[in-house]
Structure 1
Amino acid sequence: MTVRRASRGRAARLGLAVLLCAVGAAAAPARADVIIGVAVPRTGPVAGIGEQVLQGVQAAARDANARGGIAGEPIVLSVQDDGCDPGQAVEVAERFMQAQVRLIVGHVCSSASLAASDVYAANGAVMISPASNAARLTDRGLPTIFRVSGREDDQGRLSATILAERFRDKKIAILSDDTPLSRSLADSTKANLNKIGQNEALFATIVPGQTDDAALIKRLQAAGIEVVYYGGHYQEMGRLVRTAAEQGYRPQWFGTSGIATKEFGALAGPASNGVLMTFNPDLRRKPEAAAAVKAFQAEGVDPGGFTLYGYAALQALVEAGNFAKSTDPKTVAETLHAERFNLVLGNVGFDQKGDVTAPGYVLYVWRDGAFTYAN
């Protein structure tokens, strides 16, 4: 079988071997009728978010299998680690294509989703991301590419509005790291803030693992920065928040969906209290998610963060397949575009770009190692 590849060279590194695990069964069946690929980072800087997504996907597959799977056939998950790396993501996508896996939940990081989606689109495979919010992922109009999370431009607009409304007379710094998504979030927030009529006092890019935190904090202090917006992930922001507090510097910190994991609270410690964050709506509050939440809690799991978005991504594939009575990827994609579904997200559909029709982002605040809606 020939895999149609995107216009990218092969990555030098190989990801993990395909792991087939029958959800809700003692052992994998000899022949899987409906194999769904799951591509998440299980190693690397955002492995914690990847595990949230995987936990949600596994629960959704278990629940779907209890109701007959897709079109009467059981679901088997093929789980692969993309390490949040574009090259590894392409390798994962190509292995799925070689294995004839044409329904995929993933990827998590926008850079990985963008790279892998070219492979999926070229081969007519359906990909539905539970977490990637780069606008370009769906703006290209690829007919088999979807997401259940929000878009970066929506997040940037909300962030700018909050900064302008709550901190109009404060000196604001906008920071990003050297990843495409972080730069896009920072650029979008800056552009929208400037459009409102407010200018930031400092705009800077840091390099994760290479930036001198102490020097950066001194730079922020010297500039009289009172509010720090950071568009990157939880490792760097958690460390910065903690280090700044240790040095007696306590600006208002403002993060994004990249810190929506308990690891941020653990890294920042007590200094995380009061940190603001934009993130997708808390699905634990949705009545449509009540049964799934109850099942998670019965197992001692709090399905926060991206967990229920992983559940929703798999659930959308199942609902579309059952509506169409087919697992053909072209049919599933057409059904996702055309119909509405009762998911843990609520009653939603997907527009012609592949974006979900659910609300995008809300404001949260961190308290005691967890985050909740801000007033």
Structure 2
Amino acid sequence: MRKAIQRVFAVSVLAGAVAYGVAAQAADAIKIGIAGPMTGANAAYGEQFWRGAQQAAADINAAGGINGKQIELVKGDDACEPKQAVAVANRLVDQDKVDAIVGHFCSSSTIPASEIYAEAGKLQITPASTNPKVTERKIPTIFRTCGRDDQQGVVAADFILDKLKAKKVAVIHDKDTYGQGLADAMKAAASSKGVKEVLYEGLTRGEKDFNALATKIKASGADAVYFGGLYAEAGILVRQLREQGVNAPFISGDGIVSADMVTAAGGPQFVKGVYMTFGADPRAIPAGKEVVEKFRKAGYEPEGYTMYSYASVQAIADAMKATKSTDGVTLAKWLKAHTVQTVMGPKAWDAKGDLKVSDYVMYQWDDKGGYAELK
């Protein structure tokens, strides 16, 4: 009986030691949640987020980590759905115990999720959410490494009116926080220059037939079509416009910065000549040359938001190293007072968590399914 008790005691001690070891190991890691659409129609952006964060974590860990601790990434799939984003945020905070968050992608996901992160005192940096409301709600712990819709909307309007010389602009959006917000920003900028849209319509995400809308656009006599939304709908819309003989320039924003735009459109012949606003190509920035080459050697092209995600992890790491803290408010105060050197060059933030300098430019897609900055 005594031997049996001793065996049970020994097993209990061993189990306790293992549990302690696991807990100690977890405590020795800096956990960063990577939240975005890992599945669904916009999964290409989730892949960009994850790839960028993975490489950043690998490089930082190889250099000694953060104050001697290694970075551990935790994936959160919100599928660009607000309710799912809230569930993801709660899980990352309560179950996964993350120390900071990179994400989300869609502004409609970022906004409700940010309330949860803020309440938990977690630093959140979104590489892609551009709706002004993201940083206009006096939440101290939210930042972005991208610009805002009211910045890229102005760039798009200037291009449409001054370069394309359009007089009749049809404005289409996807009824989402990001898409409609971007469309409204461009519309307001165009209106300030004396041009009122000839058509303002919303479409529904996930639908595949926009022929009725294409007919409306054709009937409006639009000499330019502006779309606020993501590549899944943009690709279908531009193809159906072309199939109906509408060859007016098609212009959109950073929601179509993915090779999947070509797939959604049904081939490069349909995206040829499409314009979009996006930040200056991060793959061409000297500070990120070495990292870009790493990606390419591994067979991955770091397009879209890949480098934005990498830079977001860098910002989190630098703030934690400097403050020796994981408290979101402490990290936020440090970031608002310091410039961070990233793969996208130096980044600095204002009191709202917005970048002090935005670098939106125009791009054009070609008949091979690629895009390049207009000079």
TM value normalised by structure 2: 0.89
Give the counterpart letter for 2:86 in structure 1: V
Q: Report the secondary structure of 2:175's partner residue.
A: coil
Residues in 1 aligned to 2:187 and 2:371: alpha-carbon distance in whole angstroms: 25
Offset of residue 213 of structure 1: 1.6
Q: Which residue of 2 aligns with 1:334?
A: 333
| Structure richer in helix, relative to its length | 2
Q: Which residue of 2 aligns with 1:355?
A: 354
Q: Which residue of 2 aligns with 1:310?
A: 309
Residues in 1 aligned to 2:173 and 2:318: alpha-carbon distance in whole angstroms: 38
1:246 to 243, 246, 258: 243
Residue 86 (1) aligns with residue 85 (2) = no
Offset of residue 181 of structure 1: 1.4
Q: Provide the identity percentage.
A: 39
Deviations 1:40-76 (A, max 9, x none): 1111221111111111011000000011111111011
Offset of residue 211 of structure 1: 7.3
Residues in 1 aligned to 2:207 and 2:44: alpha-carbon distance in whole angstroms: 22
Deviations 1:163-188 (A, max 9, x none): 22023353211111111211111111
Q: How does 1:48-67 map to 2 (within 5 A)?
A: 48-67=44-63
Residues in 2 aligned to 1:361 and 1:244: alpha-carbon distance in whole angstroms: 27
Residues in 2 aligned to 1:300 and 1:82: alpha-carbon distance in whole angstroms: 27
Residue 228 (1) aligns with residue 225 (2) = yes
Give the counterpart letter for 2:31 in structure 1: I
Give the counterpart letter for 1:370 in structure 2: G
Offset of residue 273 of structure 1: 0.7
Native 8 Å contact 2:319 2:335 kept in 1: yes
Give the counterpart letter for 1:171 in structure 2: K
Q: Report the secondary structure of 1:296's partner residue.
A: helix
Offset of residue 345 of structure 1: 1.9
2:118 to 112, 116, 121: 121
Deviations 1:349-371 (A, max 9, x none): 11110112342311000012111
Residue 139 (1) aligns with residue 136 (2) = yes
Unaligned runs of 5+ in 1: 1-28
Residues in 1 aligned to 2:156 and 2:247: alpha-carbon distance in whole angstroms: 20
Native 8 Å contact 2:166 2:223 kept in 1: no
Q: Which structure 1 residue ranges, 4+ long, deviate > 6 Å from structure 2? A: none
Q: How does 1:66-77 map to 2 (within 5 A)?
A: 66-77=62-73
Offset of residue 123 of structure 1: 1.5
Native 8 Å contact 1:40 1:53 kept in 2: yes
Q: How does 1:94-243 map to 2 (within 5 A)?
A: 94-99=90-95, 100-210=97-207, 212-243=209-240
Residues in 2 aligned to 1:190 and 1:211: alpha-carbon distance in whole angstroms: 25
TM value normalised by structure 1: 0.89
Unaligned runs of 5+ in 2: 1-23
Give the counterpart letter for 1:274 in structure 2: G
Native 8 Å contact 2:104 2:128 kept in 1: yes
Q: Report the secondary structure of 2:143's partner residue.
A: strand
Give the counterpart letter for 1:188 in structure 2: A
Give the counterpart letter for 2:195 in structure 1: Q
Q: Which residue of 1 aligns with 2:34?
A: 38
Residues in 2 aligned to 1:333 and 1:50: alpha-carbon distance in whole angstroms: 24
Residues in 1 aligned to 2:133 and 2:51: alpha-carbon distance in whole angstroms: 27
Greater C-alpha Rg? 2
Give the counterpart letter for 1:272 in structure 2: V
Give the counterpart letter for 2:370 in structure 1: A
Change beyond 3 A, Cα 1:58–1:211? closer
Q: Which residue of 2 aligns with 1:372?
A: 372
Q: Which residue of 1 aligns with 2:345?
A: 346
Q: Which residue of 1 aligns with 2:322?
A: 323
Change beyond 3 A, Cα 1:282–1:238? same
Deviations 1:304-336 (A, max 9, x none): 111101111111101111122333333222211
Give the counterpart letter for 2:272 in structure 1: N
Q: Report the secondary structure of 1:198's partner residue.
A: coil
Residues in 2 aligned to 1:209 and 1:49: alpha-carbon distance in whole angstroms: 16
The number of equivalent residue pairs is: 348
Offset of residue 373 of structure 1: 0.2
> Which region of structure 1 is more displaced relative to structure 2, 281-290 or 203-212?
203-212
Residues in 2 aligned to 1:209 and 1:34: alpha-carbon distance in whole angstroms: 37
Change beyond 3 A, Cα 1:276–1:337? same
Native 8 Å contact 1:266 1:369 kept in 2: no
Residues in 2 aligned to 1:56 and 1:365: alpha-carbon distance in whole angstroms: 24
Change beyond 3 A, Cα 1:146–1:59? same
